[in-house]
Homo-oligomer: A and B are copies of this chain.
């Protein structure tokens, strides 16, 4: 799958098919997270992969949008050493979500609502930080799916984002 199209065409998917994601595919997604760069190559992350339905439901109760997790085929909890690692967490999460997208799998980052209870449920030390839980699965009928063939320029025209001129400043910031 074309790399640039994958990057600009990645949309969040929140409704999933129940069919399981093959183990080899989950491994490819996790490997993309492991391969991510990080500040001083500290790799401050640990990934908890969850596919057990009871545990998915259990984890969902700590989340702002429980249905995203309880209805997912799998979830990856991204836990990092401290709050300063949130930027690196975003890098590795994006790697995993883009890798999933190339493999036909939709994802969405989810913010914990009650991080302390989430950490207790997963046996995570309280000093760790969970910036996101990625919910994932094959997209349900009607959901967005990866575009195999499309013009990236056309995709960039259609996306629900601020115009480039509003986001980009040249040489210095002008409010």
* Contact in complex: A175, B109 (CB < 8 Å): no
Number of residues of chain A lying within 8 A (CB) of chain B: 76
Closest to A102 in B: B3
Q: Please report which residues of chain A, range 138-175, place their CB below 8 angstroms from some CB of chain B when the two chains form the complex.
A: 152, 155-156, 159-162, 164, 167-175
Interface check A117, CB cutoff 8 A: no
* Contact in complex: A109, B37 (CB < 8 Å): yes
Closest to A159 in B: B35
Interface check A49, CB cutoff 8 A: yes
Q: Please report which residues of chain A, range 86-145, place their CB below 8 angstroms from some CB of chain B when the two chains form the complex.
A: 86-95, 97-99, 101-103, 109, 111, 122-125, 131-132
Q: Which A residues are within 8 Å of any B CB, using their own CB?
A: 1-12, 27-28, 30-37, 39, 41, 43, 45-52, 55, 79, 86-95, 97-99, 101-103, 109, 111, 122-125, 131-132, 152, 155-156, 159-162, 164, 167-175
